[in-house]
Structure 1
Amino acid sequence: MNTTPTPRIAIVGAGPGGLTCARILQRHGIPATVYDHESGPEARDQGGTLDLHEDNGQIALREAGLLDEFFRLSRPEGQEMRQMDTDATILFHHTPEAGDRFKPEIDRGRLRDLLLDSLSLQPGTVRWGHTLRSVDGPADGPRHLRFADGTTIEADLVIGADGAWSTVRRAISAAVPRYSGVSFLEAWFHDVENRHADIAELVGQGGAAAADGDRGLFAQRNSGDHIRVYVIQRVPADWITGAGLTIQDTDGIRALLLDRYRDWSPRLRHLLTDNDGRYVDRPILALPVPHTWDHNPTITLLGDAAHLMPPLGVGVNLAMLDACELALALAKNSTVDEAIHAYEATMLPRSHRMQELLDGGAEELLSTELPDFADAESR
């Protein structure tokens, strides 16, 4: 970027999208600061495993100079997929070929560490413990970011990479996420080869799914001998409290699930009952379709802040591709405003197409239809 003085860029959110954007900007000699509400990188569990696709997430990692390290850390065997019926009979089984790198798996925590380590040569790039309360100031800048601790910083560009409930988004859009009608309940299994050998065999090295049209289960191998299971139901958002329970009432929730899945195979029902620790409630949310906003010369969005969709394998990939394209636009254009125009001209149509494709897609997770693996890869 040839602008003088150098624009002050604030990225809100230290997830894969925000960190990817900061990394690529730094590689082009453009400083940026990432603000995150968490107290530090170890503040919470980062979630399960994800697949980074050759045609989006891996493109971003190549621009970040991290693709080879990603391949070293990733698990190509995690591309294995099993689809079962409710009797635990395997109906469909995809095993990746040797050398297949189309969408290898990596734990979210490892991906975040990879990106954070790449920024460590410039200390202070990521500032933890900064909970954003509001963004104000004139549309043409400078913008004021006001944090919960009372501090305020000025920026010439604010990038909202702060997820589903984005605070940055409120400055340019009134849209809020809506409940899809489908909810996940997450369960964890540790030391699975020793403590949960039958579940480890059932799931394999990748993912295993079963559904009956109303209920579903999806189990996914993580690194470190862990498995995460997602209990998928078409239920009200408050289904736990509606049953007179709380998320802390593990035994009560187990009893409820056993009743709802009473006709399923005992092998699959172990995924409901043998988990280590409490469940995690994850209602599936999505932004209105399509989500758009009037162009703003000092604010833009990427990832879930821009286009939250059901979790069907595209969210992190699109966030990282957004981040890559935004950083490159800032490097190639002479002003921030021109860069935002160039970025949104590509990002918004792409995200609208994907939002329309996945609108109501959470229901697909309950479908008994077998997947067309080749078609899924091509999309």
Structure 2
Amino acid sequence: MSTTPKIAIIGAGPAGLTLGAILQKHNISFTIYDSDSSPNERNQGGTLDLHPRGGQAALVEAGLWKEFTKYARPESDVLKIVKNDGEVLWDGNTTDKREVPEEEKFANRPEIDRSALKEILLGAVKPESIRWGKHLKEAIAGQSGKYDLHFADGSIDKDFDLLVGADGAWSKIRKLLSDTLPTYSGISLIECWTYDVVKENPWMAEYAGAGSCYSFGEGRTIQIQRIGDGSVRTYACLRKPESFLKDCGIDWTNPGPAKEQYVKEYFDDCGADLKRMILESKDKLVPRTLYQLPVGFSWESRPGVTLIGDAAHLMTPFGGVGVNAAMMDSLSLAQEVVKFVERGEGKSLAEVVKQYEVDMFPRGEMFAKKTMDNMQKHFSAGGSEHLAGRLIAHYRKPASTS
């Protein structure tokens, strides 16, 4: 029987919380540190789909499947594809409306709000295992092979056997393993919110549909998501230099005029309905610049420290796989730790870390390649036609007679 290592997880996002939830199920102690002062300090983002062999598998391992089915939205696993000029090429809201048996509702990729996923995971981790308001300043390796955590508030927590970086794009833990930093992806965007669309603007609810609406074209995309809380988020994205949002001459602190100028200068030839989705999203405006790690990013294994999620393989959202990849990391690492602690498999914690990384590196590279390929297609002429063609071929193929 192996001695349980002292484990620190940096970051209480989907990756860190999933790892914690699985470890807790096996009575393996850990501490999660997060810089936010509370679980709800920041908005958690929009919606995402969880794949059966990705996020869903991790939730099953954590014993959270029933909770997931309470909040997941299988009805939102639907796409609408529109050309930049407004022509609707595919609308899954009106196509293939066959009744799905109850046992198959979660067989594909049901949507779930990021906020709901976080609540599910938080409910599976003991509150005393999470320390909020702990902004990591530096992680330092000691001579004994253990690690000390130095926080911005002046406190130091010492002697960790396993340090897991789930601390996102600008990970402090990554510095122990590599000097590589994320680089600009080439894509900048504005994120526009509108609340309670059914009540406040029913037209937006009807146009967006139950799931996601995409419009792809040369150098730009418009992507629209229905959220489980009744809101809609519209993302108007451009392929531009890194300093674009700062240098374009648009005052982002004045949302109404800012959106009008942005649409007029960069989306004026788009369909009227697409422009309307941007302009009538009046509740919040967030400019964003997207970064990524290199495809195939890896590091030389180091005993007692590793990375999961965005810290290990930061990607743009155009592959739709980021959270699934993160939760698969958590599942894989948790399984290795459980084998080590409960069954004594593996001679050392260093072997636990190395085996996890051997499994994770090719998986992360596969997802990163998929994301890069999708991004190139989405921001190219004919991007909408390409995706619509794939959907038409899939849904209209003859049923098997075997």
TM-score range, shorter chain: over 0.9
Distance 1:223 1:150 in 2: 40
Q: Which residue of 2 aligns with 1:280?
A: 286
**What secondary structure does 1:355 align onto?**
helix
Q: Which residue of 1 aligns with 2:332?
A: 325
Answer yes or no: is the 8 Å Cα contact 1:47–1:108 preserved in 2: yes
In structure 2, the CA distance between the partners of 1:196 and 1:117, relative to structure 1 (3 Å rule), is same
Distance 1:141 1:375 in 2: 56
**What secondary structure does 1:324 align onto?**
helix
Answer yes or no: is the 8 Å Cα contact 2:163–2:304 preserved in 1: yes
Answer yes or no: is the 8 Å Cα contact 1:284–1:362 preserved in 2: no
Q: Confirm or deny that 1:33 pairs with 2:31.
A: yes
1:349 CA drift (Å): 1.5
Pairing 1:305-324 to 2, within 5 Å after superposition:
305-311=311-317, 312-324=319-331
**What secondary structure does 2:306 align onto?**
strand
Pairing 1:1-379 to 2, within 5 Å after superposition:
2-4=1-3, 6-94=4-92, 98=100, 99-101=104-106, 102-119=108-125, 122-138=126-142, 141-154=145-158, 155-259=160-264, 260-311=266-317, 312-333=319-340, 334=344, 335-359=348-372, 361-366=374-379, 367-371=383-387, 372-373=390-391
Q: Which moved more, 1:218-227 or 1:359-368?
A: 359-368
**What secondary structure does 1:293 align onto?**
coil
**What secondary structure does 1:153 align onto?**
strand
1:182 CA drift (Å): 1.1
TM-score scaled by length of structure 2: 0.88
Letter of the structure 2 residue corresponding to residue 242 of structure 1: D
Give CA deviations for 1:163-199 in whole Å, capped at 9, x if unaligned: 1111111111111111111122100011101222111
Distance 1:203 1:278 in 2: 18
Distance 2:251 2:181 in 1: 25
Distance 1:293 1:214 in 2: 33
Number of equivalences: 373
Q: Which moved more, 1:253-262 or 1:356-365?
A: 356-365
In structure 2, the CA distance between the partners of 1:139 and 1:299, relative to structure 1 (3 Å rule), is farther
Q: CA RMSD in A?
A: 1.9
1:276 CA drift (Å): 2.4
What 5-or-longer segments of structure 1 have no aligned partner?
A: none
Give CA deviations for 1:9-34 in whole Å, capped at 9, x if unaligned: 00000001100001101111210110
Distance 1:376 1:240 in 2: 38
Answer yes or no: is the 8 Å Cα contact 1:8–1:32 preserved in 2: yes
Distance 1:247 1:166 in 2: 28
Give CA deviations for 1:263-312 in whole Å, capped at 9, x if unaligned: 12221111221112331122221101221111111100001100111212
In structure 2, the CA distance between the partners of 1:244 and 1:344, relative to structure 1 (3 Å rule), is same
Letter of the structure 2 residue corresponding to residue 210 of structure 1: S
Distance 2:255 2:375 in 1: 25
Give CA deviations for 1:234-269 in whole Å, capped at 9, x if unaligned: 112222221223431313421322212111222111
What 5-or-longer segments of structure 2 have no aligned partner?
A: 396-402
**What secondary structure does 1:135 align onto?**
strand
1:61 CA drift (Å): 0.4
Letter of the structure 1 residue corresponding to residue 375 of structure 2: A
Identical-pair percentage: 36
